[in-house]
Amino acid sequence: MTRTLSAFRLGDVRGIYPDDIDENFIEKFAHAFVGQFNLTGKIATGRDMRASSESLQEALNLTLSSIGIDVIDIGLCPTELGYFASAMPEIDAAIVVTASHNPMDYAGLKCVLDKGRAITYDRGLSDIEALMLASYRHPQAKGSINRVDYQERYLELLRSCFSPETLDCGGIALNGLNGTAATMAEIVASSFELPVSWFRKNPGPMPEQGADPTNPKLVAEMKSFMAQGRFVLGVAWDGDCDRCVIFDDQGELIPTYYLIGLLIEKHLKDSPGGSIVFDTKLSWNTTEMIARYDGVPVPSKTGHAFMKQKMHEHNAIYGGELSSHHYFGNFFGCDSGMFAWLTVLNLLGNEGPDLQELIAEQRANICITPEINLALSDVDAAFAAVLNQYQDRAVRVDHFDGLSVEMPGNWRFSLTRSKTEAVVRLNFEARSGSEILLEEGKKVFKTLEAYQSDESDWLERFDIQ
């Protein structure tokens, strides 16, 4: 039986500290990373706000510098600052110590090569894992560690892409979820003279349940915060700031599905004929918006590394992922919380329409449910049971990224294995109205009930957005 390391996921490295990832793991990873990609120059490293991250980054820096790498330490930062650093001509790769939105007892690594080139399990991570299991040691050599601030350089890029005059739409509520967003967003807000009010601003400790900005409890917190003032919109980021969600002036969460539609429209109006990357958990509105504005659709598997690969392969102008990752061609094809919120501000502009007006047509044409996380005892058996129940009646069955089933009556659903958590994501959408979706959706849950491995009420979040 092939040995594996549990922290290796399909698109990054993530696990419990110190059980799955500790300083010894990081040392072995550094040796294998440099060896696998034959790196000899400079590597940028950063970290998130977790209690373990400073020690893990220190172990990473010391190991890299002991095997001939000149380490550029960018310190406490949003992950996207690592992506930005990787695009600098002097940098060969970037590694950010972060477990993203996972709870504080997690640790992880997000890695890219030069110019934001992603690394997946099939393209690099599995080889690194094999080297670690084989106790690979890279030859010793003299390197260095230098602290460098890339924030001002990144701000220059943002100022070249956005004009302060187009971002003046009124008061903005910002929620950092005690992650690293404020380390960059505060500088951006000051530079663009944006009237912002912060909630959960300081890095760490983040909420007990983690820093997923779509978590219902955290969404309710944000709505309560926004009720205390007058805001045009609200913005919340996850722990490492590469996911961005938007709230309207009443503190209601704007479904990312419809926000992606708005950003597709904007980017294709700016760059007609461009390629748009999207994950396929929900797809009808996305593909219709791409077709309406003469874009080129590029489906991708769910996950930031897969999306980045597609962005690079197709020189795409924008990519939208249902998990609230937004990818930008003018940000090296990488996901960015900073580009995301500034782009939304740009959409609103001076006294422009509100967000609900902007998405009203999309909502009228296609309705969806919130994404529902399922803990299943036997995922393969559950998928087989669903396939057996629906394939004979289905209009279309797709196995591109999990299981997607389109049914008569203009409704569909998808089951997708999470790339970062031990859950399956279930999504529904319909063209024909909410009634059929609610009625038929409950039958899908009935099929899955035999495989439920927790006591949560799946139907609790089963409503129409």
Catalytic residues: 100
Element (H, E) at 44: strand 42-47
Residue with the two structure tokens 């996850």: 238
Would you say 323 and 212 are in contact if contact means Cβ atoms under 8 Å apart? no
Residue with the two structure tokens 């978590």: 215
Structure-block tokens of residue 325: 């990752």
Q: Which of 161, 179, 213, 183 is nearest to 81 (CA)?
A: 183
Half-sphere exposure in the Cβ direction for 244 (13 Å, CA)? 29
Helix pair angle (151-161, 337-348), 10° resolution: 30
Give the CA radius of gyration of the chain: 22
Name the β-bridge partners of 245. Answer: 236
Instruction: Give the dihedral sign, CA 156/162/167/171.
Output: negative
Would you say 405 and 416 are in contact if contact means Cβ atoms under 8 Å apart? no
Environment class of 287 (CB within 10 Å of its CB; exposed 0-12, middle 13-18, buried 19+)? middle
Give the whole-angstrom CA distance, residue 280 versus residue 54. Answer: 36
Q: Write the DSSP assignment of 320-364 as a string of letters.
A: E-TTSBEEEGGGTTEE-HHHHHHHHHHHHTTT---HHHHHHHHHH
Element (H, E) at 188: helix 182-191
Which 3 state secondary structure label does DSSP give 113?
strand
Q: How far is CA 313 from CA 112, 117, 192, in A?
A: 15, 10, 33
